[in-house]
A and B are shown apart, each in its own frame.
Chain A
Amino acid sequence: MIIITVLGVAFLLLSIGVVLFNQLRKANIRVDEAFAQIDVQLKRRADLIPNLIETVKGYAAHEKTTLEQVTEARTSTMKATTFDEKMSSDNMLTGALRGLLAVSENYPDLKASANFLQLQEELSTTENKIAFSRQYYNDAVLLLNTKIKTIPSSFFAGVAGVKERVFYVTDDASRTRPDVKF
């Protein structure tokens, strides 16, 4: 009778352990997926830029410096390898693009062209997608870090080989800090 109880309890504990282990692993994979998603959106934006630059050049050739800033920023995003490099070069490109779009306000012909309007919508939705994929990444990191730090899943974090991850931080005016409420 005692043996059965002990075996039963041991089985229960083992099952709980397996569940928590898997939850940690899944949360970690989600973070990787979310980060890859950010890259997908960033690449989409990078691909839109040459077209944008050509369209703007057609109407606003004197805005050389602004156009060059955008091209430079784009090149640096394509050369970035580490997480920090990616974050900072991406922020630079966001800023440079904003500058270019602001400058386009001064050219009514450019603003009215169908090509430019479609590009604007594409760029706008891509910027939104970048922002939301960062937000989702931060949500995934929050979930993982919370699991790693709270009982009982914290007991299995070492066994599962998962470590806390870093939040994606933007340095533009509209950034939101994820508020950690336990």
Chain B
Amino acid sequence: MEFRSEIASNQRKSIFLLFSLFLLLIGIIYLVGLYLGVSSYTILPFALLFSIITTISSYWSSDKLVLMITKARVITEDEGGPLYNIVSEMAIAAGIPMPKVAIVEDSAPNAFATGRDPDHAIIAFTTGILAKMDREQLQGVAAHEMSHIKNRDTLVATVAAVTAGAIALIADLISRVFLYTGGTKNSKGNPFAMVALVIVIFLAPIGAILLRSSISRKREALADSSAVAITRNPTGLRRALETLRDDSTVVQAKSNAVAHLWVESPIDKRNSRWHPFDTHPPIQDRIDKLQAME
């Protein structure tokens, strides 16, 4: 497949998935209304507000936060060097401002990008990846990370997190109501339907997580194809992914909070066939897609 159609397809799919997440939220509200009565619709703005408040500060300061969590060291323009040059080349090709460039002390090869918008962005590379890759591969990785910034994936992930958070909150509230009232709160209507309603409400948070993981995978695929649009050279990123595939070390800072940011996921299980909770598409699939573009 040619990279432009890949990009369009990934954009469409991720928008569709985000929309599905919103629909899930609306659906949950509706079901809660059925169970508790229409006045419970007022839950929605509060749930969303609470979810936004708890998420907004990490979104707003994501560049500084991540620097702290990973203990990354920023490279200044005066220092320069080949890595700084590679990133500035990619910034020109992508047409976005130059992000901050940082290095993380970690022997596992990996890289990440974050920031609330292209003007407050940061890209970091581990010492491991700098040791194991040549210029062409690093250029591919830098292009992939630059694409995350250009495509505003931090914002997309935050919107998904806020929506999923609101869903989890509402489901939690309903489960408490159900427990305290012994399930007899709403006696009008078919009792079996009520039970089914409540089961669906309990399952909604799992659906939300699945949708979030799916969105993350699509954005990663989008970053791969956007990287090709930037470099016009699928070989660099493909060779970089091959090196990552064959390397078994994993980065230290792999908490769930930052797992989705790395170019290769530190938490996805490698050899299983069951991928619904993975944040990245399987690495061999990514390699094959890039190979098809060469």
Measured CB to CB, the residues of A under 8 A from B are 30, 34, 37, 41, 121, 125, 128-129, 132-133, 135-136, 139-140, 176, 181
Contact = CB atoms under 8 A, between A and B. Distances in A.
A140 B4 CA distance: 15
Contacts of A129: 88-89, 92
A132 B2 CA distance: 20
A132 B82 CA distance: 16
B283 to A, nearest CB: 27
Given A125-B85, A176-B232, A135 B4 contact: no
Interface residues of B, number: 13
A125 B89 contact: yes
Q: Binding site of A, secondary structure by majority: helix, strand, loop or mixed? A: helix
A132 B93 contact: yes
Contacts of B90: 132
Given A176-B232, A181-B4, A136 B85 contact: no
B89 A136 contact: no
A97 to B, nearest CB: 17
Of B2, B92, B93, B232, the most chain A CB neighbours within 10 A belong to: B92
21 contacts: A37-B92, A41-B92, A121-B82, A125-B85, A125-B88, A125-B89, A128-B89, A129-B89, A132-B89, A132-B90, A132-B92, A132-B93, A133-B92, A133-B93, A135-B93, A135-B232, A136-B92, A136-B93, A140-B95, A181-B2, A181-B4
A176 B95 CA distance: 19
B88 A136 contact: no
Given A128-B85, A129-B88, A136-B92, 9 more contacts: A34-B95, A121-B85, A125-B82, A125-B85, A125-B86, A125-B88, A132-B93, A136-B93, A140-B95
